[in-house]
Structure 1
Amino acid sequence: MATTIKVTAADVSLYHVAAAQLGDATQWWRIAQLNGMTDPDLSDFTTPVQIVLPTVDASLGSGVPGVSA
């Protein structure tokens, strides 16, 4: 069963949510992808919005796939 949480502007960004929920802020894109979002900024959320969290996957490296330094 998928885990869902409610987020608001107080959560600041998907970076913060990913750090708290997945243990890795750079995995914000997984939350965004799963919820049809493209922007990690949550400052426009005036009311709580329910989002689905991906499972924690320790095998994933940090960062966004396909992007290298």
Structure 2
Amino acid sequence: MANTIKVTAADRTLYHVAAAHLGDATQWWRIAQLNGLTDPDLSAFATPVPLVIPATDSSLASGVPGVAA
């Protein structure tokens, strides 16, 4: 089930968000894809921006598609 959170520049990067919410920083691309982002840098977000966080996917062992841990 997807969650929505608000992020700002204080959250630093999607790597940090993925680590905190998905338990795997390498899954940052899933958050980016779901929210139409291409850059993991959040420094441009001065005001809170909502992001949809995907459900945890344990089938992505390393977080990167096609790469096994």
With normalisation by structure 2, the TM-score equals 0.88
- Runs (4 or more) in structure 1 with deviation over 2 Å come to 63-67
CA-based RMSD of the aligned residues comes to 1.5
Identity of aligned residues (%): 79
| Offset at residue 20 of structure 1 (A) | 0.2
Question: Amino acid of the residue matched to residue 6 of structure 1?
Answer: K
Separation in 2, partners of 1:34, 1:12: 18
Counterpart of 2:46 in structure 1 is 46
| Offset at residue 66 of structure 1 (A) | 5.6
Separation in 2, partners of 1:64, 1:58: 12
Structure 2: runs of 5+ lacking an equivalent: none
Structure 1: runs of 5+ lacking an equivalent: none
Question: Amino acid of the residue matched to residue 60 of structure 1?
Answer: L
